[in-house]
Amino acid sequence: MSERLVPVPEVDKISFSGEEEKVIELWKKLDVFHSCLKQSKDRPRFTFFDGPPFATGLPHYGHILAGTIKDVVTRWAHQTGHHVERRFGWDTHGLPVEYEIDKTHGINGPEDVAKMGIKKYNELCRSIVTRYADEWEVIISRLGRWIDFKNDYKTLYPWYMETIWWVFSQLYQKGLVYRGFKVMPFSTACSTPLSNFEAGQNYKDTQDPSVVVNFPLLDEPSVVLVAWTTTPWTLPSNLGLCVNPEMDYVKVQGKTKERNGTYIMMEARLCQLFKDETEYDVLKKYKGKDLEGIRYQPLFDYFKQKANDGAFKVLCDGYVSSDAGTGVVHQAPYFGEDDFRVCLGYGIVTRDEKPICPVDDAGRFVLPVTDFKGIHVKDADPDIIKLLRSQGRVVQADRVNHSYPFCWRSDTPLIYRAVPSWFIRVEQMQEKLLATNEKTYWVPSFVKDKRFANWLSDARDWAVSRNRYWGTPIPLWVSEDFTEIVCVGSISELEKLSGEKVTDLHRDNIDHITIPSAKPGNPPLKRISEVFDCWFESGSMPYAQVHYPFENKREFEDCFPADFIAEGIDQTRGWFYTLLVISTALFGKPPFKNLIANGLILAEDGQKMSKRKKNYPDPIEVVNKYGADALRLYLTNSPSVRGENLRFKEADVFNLLKEVFIPWLNAYRFFVQQVERYQKDEGKLFQFEETEMGKSVNVMDRWIVSFTQTLLSFVHREMSAYHLYTVTPRLVKFVDNLTNWYVRFNRKRLKGDTGKEDCLRALETLYAVLFCMVRVMAPFTPFITETMYQNLKRALKPGSLGKGDTSSVHYLMVPQPVEKLICPEIEACVNILQSVVELGRYLRDKVNIPVKYPLPEVVVIHKDRKILEDVLRLESYIKEELNVKTVTTSTDKEKYGVALRADMNFKVLGSRLKGDMKKVQQKVGELTDDEIQQMLNSGSINILGHTIDSCDLNVKYSFSGEKAVELASRYEAHSDDTVLILLDTTPSQEMLDEGLAREVVNRVQKLRKKAKLVPTDEVTVWYHVDEKDIELAPIVATYSEYIENLTKTPFKPISEKDRSSVLIEEVTNIKENCIKLVITQGICPGWSSTVSVVEATVTGGESCPWVNIILDGTPRYGTNSCSATLLLENPIGKPVITSCQQILEEAHGIFGFPLEHGRLYVERKLIDSKTPVASLAGRTIVITYDRNKVPVATSAIKPYSRFVNVEGSGKKGCVVLENPCGDGIMSAKAFTSVVQKILGLDSKPAIFTDLEKKKPLHLNGSSLAKLSGSTVYV
């Protein structure tokens, strides 16, 4: 450390991705991630569980968002003193893999797998599970996420599968496992049942048939019951009709051509068949229970034998509603959960009978449904309707749009179907699940308290078996009649029971293994054919990833539950749910302490992202364009971290790059340039020590340091609450405050224009903030912070970071806030400054007057005098930033005749107000300033009974009173929640001329940038303006010295140009005037005053008697310095200060403290007001206005302010170049004027650097600063 900083190249959007690639190479070279783990191994553990994705596709934005959140939190945990193990996991089993194989190899059902053989099928599955694993590692690593891919876990590892067996065996021993028939969501494309939470993951709006079918009564065939369904394919399996026992039903006679029969249906649902009451006559009314037991004619004869069990009659149940249909619901017990329950209750079906389910696992009709045999049920709908219509059984046929569940993997419609399955008893655990959920902390909290809690309250028993092949086999060995069941909990137990060696647990390796029956003479037990739902595997990952309880038992138990997990909000019915169910069942406690549920990422148009539609940009292309940091910050600064959905917009990533990253990097680049300039000018290496932070008394330095420490405190507090959604906006705001406020407002100080010491304080402050920033931002934007740190650390004093490895920013801890550096008063003061400046900028834009052009005045109005004092305290910044000559403050708005006025927004209110429009318009015009202000505060106002929102009115400022016309022509007004400002927009001709000169400065600086020059490059600018350009030519000549001061570059007529090498030239237009600019290498002869100053006589002190003054308090009047120098005589022999009261008044004029309370001290002793001022010459006077405060003693051997001695006309005097210190050197023009005044000359003097007056003094650029301490001669 303590080396020279490396220059930073010019920044553009293209450079970010390339720089990030360099950082990745550095991380690889240093093995930074694993080094972090080694360094932290003895720290407290922070446990993180990573949900396993499927590797059958590439990562999408959902993975990237969740991965970024996980990375930010785990990096933060590491950099706040924890050891964080981060292992990547892969979900390798189940439908996602099998579906890919089925599509590729044309497998349409179990018979096709049987032909191929399970061994071959599983080999094919195994071959693709890591198809994209390498791409995942490349993409995830490129995004800056640190996670261990080498020490990963895969659900196909035998040791992982063995833990799954152990988990299941524990649940089995607790009596939580049972086998049963249940109507479940069923994927015909994947030939397997799904759990309820899987079915809830992919609802879609779709169009289905809407059919009303009639069922003639057996005893009265001319009367029909009418039932409605959207699943005609279930009608062949109809065994009953259900009504609500407590609702009203009617028998009606239809009176239209289409509806001329006699129908029985719910009274509240007559609208299903009839438009109004004129289309039917009510013949009779019933309660639903009166219809119970009425028998009807079946639609089909396939199951007519079930009439002996009570089928084909009216049943009653309260689940029938009046929301849709006819109020009569057709019952197909093996295709509907409620249907099964109701028919079971009436004894129409029993639990142990063979299900009436004429549909195979591929969704095709089988015998006895002969009419539609072999047709997929959804394809059979039109044929069924056609057949029933031919039999006169269709009353109404239409199409309906509704929300329907689709298979989350195959994206095909699910059906509901009774299947034998193995279940985990979840319903009996509901209270425990809710209790363990209460012990967890979620962000956002509403997901836990609403969505997840509601899901738990209605939790159903979990069907964990799947009729598939590639998965962890369920470890149940059973007899043929299921009276004998053995649940195996480990590989060793299976080996012991079977006598066979086991090396792999997949079906093709263990299906042949049998276990001898415990009952003598019975055949051996065989394993059931099912495998586990892959969600059971991922829900067991906390234990399986460490092979618990077979290994790492103590390590796991010490770190369980996990400190943190994160996934998308859709996992409330997926991984979050299965984790909680298994953990609660096993240990009676939650599996995690803290959880972040992010929202979903949609395409820009609000639709789901679709590869087929190509409605989103490729993530890697976005990273290659703008860098991973920009994408990371965009995602973590979006509504998605609050659990809301995000419409992904590539343009917003680019905007973040432009508005945050480029300004941030430019501020860092500017700092490096100014350090280079400082080291060149002072011949001294810049070094920083963190203990020096906060020593500057400059108001803006104290503000940015205070703001940084406040931010640190906020980030630590909010990150401990996992509130990324509050942290990232504040970090973005911090970059804005640093770049657009601190650096912008202190450029002169940082460039050395206010003296060496003040420049050093500013550089130290900016370094402290940048260095703090790279550490606190490192978890969020790991690349740019590493890039900056690798350079910034060169300027650190040796040993500043302690003895540990400091080769990466990610080895460092996030700094803790230093409370003593936080100053809320200064932060509030600068907030006011920002309000005034932003309002002023808005008004300049409004009237189209660029900041380059000076304006006479800005008036700041507020009722609170303290706020106005804060404005004056930073007056110089307001003047410079708004380029105004005067800052005026007032508590009296009426003095300026300014008031709020409201107008109607006719476009918005016209249709609403209708006939009251004119009356309301009149009332709006009569609203007072106070009434309008009250409306703006509350958001609305009531006028003549109408609630008018503030946004419905056009509110403007207007001027009133005698001088209204004059004021309106002079001022523009604007306000925010803080202050009201008036901007005088009537510049004088002199101001317009100065603005034109600033336009020239702007063109010079742009040309320097175009030539890729840095501030330390020595060049000369030559200009030519055609004499016919009468507006620009005289201004360039008059303001040439002013232009040189601002550009710090010689600015000479092109007619004087020497033969120096031309670097760049350009002809440009300024206000329709043409100017040619040429930049040549080197400083032109005679411009620099360095030679003159070296040869000037240095006396070592001011010619005139002087006193230093220090304000022990807060300066106002726009200054930031607390020190100055006053001359007691000037020229020698002519007193300018004759009393202590005069010293106090002069100091008040500089610092703006309360004059009536001011007191003078020398060496901690109060000065008597009668003390002769001559006795104070050469002393340092401390001023305080706090009655109870005795200031510290201080002294100096030379003046604080920079000065130049002058001799001429028999007089000796002195020019103080700055007052107070660091407030900026006076201009060369002002210097000449002061010399003339001191020496009493009638005309502009000729000034020389030698007593013989042979060497004229050339005042150009910043040469006055270099004259400090010298004597010049007139």
Cβ neighbours of 1155 (radius 10 Å) = 13
- Neighbour count for residue 246 (Cβ, 10 Å): 11
Q: Which of 165, 535, 1022, 1106 is catalytic?
A: 535
Active site residue 535: yes
CA distance 917 to 911: 9
Side-chain half-sphere CA neighbours of 589 within 13 A: 8
Closest by CA to 1084, choosing from 1107, 1117, 1114, 1061, is 1061
Residue with tokens 């400090």: 1268
Cβ proximity of 776 and 664 under 8 Å: no
Catalytic residue flag (residue 571)? yes
Helix ranges, 1011-1139 (H): 1032-1038, 1040-1047, 1090-1095
**1206: number of Cβ within 10 Å:** 27
Other C-beta atoms lying within 10 Å of the C-beta of residue 1230:
13
The catalytic residue among 76, 166, 233, 575 is 575
Any catalytic annotation for residue 575?
yes
**Considering 611, 680, 918, 1237, which one is annotated as catalytic?**
611
Rounded Cα gap, residues 1211 and 1239, in angstroms: 6
The catalytic residue among 59, 70, 79, 91 is 91
What H or E segment, with its residue span, contains residue 1020? strand 1019-1025
Residue whose entry in the numeric block shows the structure tokens 């993951």: 201
Alpha-carbon gap, residue 1121 to 925, rounded angstroms: 49
Structure tokens given for 24: 């990745």
C-alpha pair distances (Å), 480 with each of 350, 424, 523, 528, 1086: 21, 22, 9, 10, 109
90 is catalytic: no
Task: Report the DSSP pairing between strands 223-229 and 884-890.
Answer: unpaired
> Going edge to edge, which strands form the sheet with 562-568?
441-443, 592-598, 562-568
d(CA 1136, CA 1150): 16
Residues 1202, 597: Cα–Cα separation, whole Å: 61
Residue 280, classed as helix, strand or coil, is strand
3 state SS of 738:
helix
Q: Is residue 368 flagged as an active site residue? A: no
**Long-range Cβ pairs for the range 999-1005 (8 Å, 24+):** 999/852, 999/1070, 999/1071, 1000/1035, 1000/1036, 1000/1039, 1000/1043, 1000/1070, 1000/1075, 1001/1043, 1001/1046, 1001/1047, 1002/852, 1003/1066, 1003/1068, 1003/1070, 1003/1075, 1003/1077, 1004/1043, 1004/1047, 1004/1049, 1004/1051, 1004/1077, 1005/1047
* Residue in the block written with tokens 């023009």: 1229
Is 52 one of the catalytic residues? yes
How many angstroms separate the CA atoms of 357 and 952, rounded?
62
147 half-sphere exposure, CB direction, 13 A CA radius? 30
Angle among Cα 1241, 1242, 1247 to the nearest 5 degrees reads 50
Q: Which of 27, 52, 339, 782 is catalytic?
A: 52
Choosing from 79, 331, 545, 571, which is the catalytic residue? 571
**CB 564, CB 593: distance < 8 Å:** yes
Which residue, among 1110, 1089, 1119, has the nearest Cα to 1199 in the 3D structure? 1110
Burial pattern 79-99, b for ≥16 Cβ within 10 A else e, equals: bbebbbbbbbbbbbbbbbbbb
- CB 178: neighbour CB atoms within 10 A? 12
DSSP symbol at 1219:
S
Cα separation, 177 vs 170, in Å, equals 10
State yes or no: is 42 an active-site residue.
no
CA distance 582 to 592: 12
Q: Are 1213 and 1239 in contact (CB under 8 A)?
A: yes
Look at residues 404, 390, 530, 634 and name the one whose alpha carbon lies nearest to residue 93.
Answer: 530
Cα 655 from Cα 649, distance rounded (Å) = 10
Q: Which residues are catalytic?
A: 52, 91, 535, 571, 575, 608, 611
